[in-house]
Amino acid sequence: QVQLQQWGAGLLKPSETLSLTCAVYGGSFSGYYWSWIRQPPGKGLEWIGEINHSGSTNYNPSLKSRVTISVDTSKNQFSLKLSSVTAADTAVYYCARGLLGLRAAYYYYMDVWGKGTTVTVSS
């Protein structure tokens, strides 16, 4: 059974860089998309970006200038860096496994999620 284990610093000061890593256990790393999603306190879900096993990335346009997602296939890990954080970046950050399929139209879903990491930005 595939599991995602995530970790990273939970308290940052404004202007610092957020750094999180997600490790994939018990399943293949290739053939999937690996995403980061965040959820500010009391609010909804926001997709940050994704990467596949070959390192191809897609980012949320609203965050693209500050986001870097990278992959280490030798360790079955992928990572998120978000630069120049502010209080608005305070959120629970999740990693997730995504699958893309095609029937009459494309479909995409995330079936395995990490438990989440709470990141607080405060001076």
Q: Rule CB under 8 A: say whether 41 interacts with another protein.
A: no
Binding residue for another protein (CB under 8 A) from 29, 52, 85, 114? 114
Backbone angles phi, psi at 87, to 5 degrees: -60, -25
Q: How many residues of this chain bind another protein (CB under 8 A)? A: 28
Q: Rule CB under 8 A: say whether 88 interacts with another protein.
A: no
- Which tokens belong to 15? 């202007």
- Of 4, 36, 32, the C-alpha closest to 19 is 36
Please, what is the minimum distance in Å from the beta carbon of residue 96 to another protein? Answer: 8
- Of 43, 29, 24, the C-alpha closest to 114 is 24
Q: 116, 49 in Cβ contact below 8 A?
A: no
Shorter beta-carbon distance to another protein: residue 72 or 111:
111
Binding residue for another protein (CB under 8 A) from 51, 110, 119, 121? 110
Shorter beta-carbon distance to another protein: residue 88 or 101:
101
Long-range contacts of 55-58 (CB under 8 A, 24+ apart): none
- Applying CB under 8 A, the residues found at the interface with another protein are 35, 44-47, 49-50, 58-61, 94, 96, 98, 100-101, 103, 105-111, 113-116
